[in-house]
Homo-oligomer: A and B are copies of this chain.
Amino acid sequence: MTDTKSKHDQTYTISQIADALDISTRTIRFYEEKGLILPKRTAGNQRIYTPRNMARLKLILRGKRFGFSLEEISEMIGMAAANLNEVEQIEKSLKFGDTKLKEIKERKKELELLEQDILATRQKLIKRITQLNREQ
């Protein structure tokens, strides 16, 4: 064991995070404002992000890419935040998580449908282009 900085101690500034995730600093601060993340601060009041904070931001962005609103994502995360409360809270969270899992299953199905829609259009276009080539 050495006292060299381990991967665990790695931290990031807000702009490093912004670059890494390709979002604006404004967006990051906005998510904090909405209670989606809570980074620590330096003595000089500047935000510092851990890899854990980073992971959470990635989760948020993933959720967004699937059309979940920030409020919905906030609820999903609230699930994790309930961590150390009473049994009821945890059970409620589990239920919520299960609902989300069902939703994700449905989304998977729909994703297939969307793919097929596009593939069908693709086929039509190819057919049409073949026809045009034959005509000329």
Kindly identify which residue among B59, B64, B94 contacts A67, using a CB–CB cutoff of 8 Å. Answer: B64
Q: For chain A, give the interface size range.
A: 35 or more
Q: How far is the CA of A125 from the CA of B109 in the complex (A)?
A: 27
Q: Which of A10-18, A33-41, A113-121 contacts B (4 or more CB under 8 A)?
A: A113-121
A-side interface mostly = helix
Give the copy number: 2
What are 27 A-B pairs with beta-carbon distances under 8 A? A62-B110, A62-B113, A64-B67, A65-B67, A66-B66, A66-B67, A66-B107, A66-B111, A66-B114, A67-B67, A76-B118, A79-B118, A79-B121, A80-B121, A84-B128, A87-B132, A87-B133, A90-B129, A90-B132, A91-B129, A97-B118, A97-B121, A97-B125, A101-B118, A101-B122, A104-B115, A104-B118
